[in-house]
Amino acid sequence: MKPNKKAAEMSIAELAAYIDQSVLKPEFTVNEVKKYIQEGIDYGCKTVCINPVSLPVAGEMTKGTGTGICVVCDFPFGLSTTKSRVKQAEEYCKRGDVFELDIVANYGYIRSGMWDAVRDDLMAVNNICHSYGTAVKVIFETDALTLDEVKRATEVAIEAKTDFVKTSTGFFSGGRSDGATLEVVQAMMDVAKGRCKIKGSGGIRTREYFLELIDFGIDRMGIGYKSTPVVLGVEGSAPDLKSSY
């Protein structure tokens, strides 16, 4: 949705509300996970986006803060059975502290034109998450898809009652790695027309592009832990950010 003022005029807190800080690298130690979750909290990010194994740590660390938990599900390939995906989602959501869940759509099915299967799968996941009050972001591995496939997948996800559609996992290999290009984000917006929100992920590493996407009307962005201070323009200042709000 278009903001009511230019991104360049927004406060740090207003800008941070657009960020899901990514803490997803599989090689992270527990101490590194804690470090980057804490940084996300200190920056005032909307959420920290974590792997399921980090839920207990994130639950304790975010309690009483303004930063929520976004957990990934069936990530990064989206190739579990629907029954398994629903069970995974319920296990996470029933904790009661998961604000949002990001799940990867089966993009092999999307490329195969199996739209009913895509819709039914997403509907099952959305239903269980919504029963716990958890919003769902559906990730399309957009670098593996054509624009027409992105558009059709967006419509199908909306039919399945998805809250957000999202570009890219950031873990795709064997093809291009453009991520959240304006072209892809525009394709999603053209179809969504306000019926669901748009999250951009992948390739958002500069402050200029971050601000451009906000002005463009994006609703949320997945930002790598290294890039959060860059896009906020507060490199090296995380511990003292509160005084800048």
Distance between CA atoms of 90 and 166, rounded to whole angstroms? 21
What backbone torsions phi and psi does residue 168 show, to the nearest 5 degrees? 70, 140
State the sign of the Cα–Cα–Cα–Cα dihedral 103, 106, 110, 114.
negative
Closest Cα to residue 72, out of 180, 166, 184, 157?
Answer: 166
Q: Which of 46, 137, 166, 197 is catalytic?
A: 166
Element (H, E) at 222: strand 220-224
Task: Tell how strand 100-104 and strand 68-73 pair up.
Answer: parallel
Whether 102 sits among the annotated catalytic residues: the reply is yes
Q: Which of 20, 42, 74, 102 is catalytic?
A: 102
Whether 199 sits among the annotated catalytic residues: the reply is yes
Rounded (10°) angle between helices 147-159 and 182-192: 40
Q: Which of 46, 137, 197, 199 is catalytic?
A: 199
- Kindly report the length of the chain: 245
Whether 166 sits among the annotated catalytic residues: the reply is yes
Could you say which DSSP state residue 137 is in?
Answer: E
Distance between CA atoms of 96 and 209, rounded to whole angstroms? 34
Closest Cα to residue 16, out of 240, 237, 223, 243?
Answer: 223
Q: Which two tokens stand for residue 210?
A: 């971050």
Closest Cα to residue 100, out of 130, 134, 76, 141?
Answer: 134
Residues marked as catalytic: 102, 166, 199
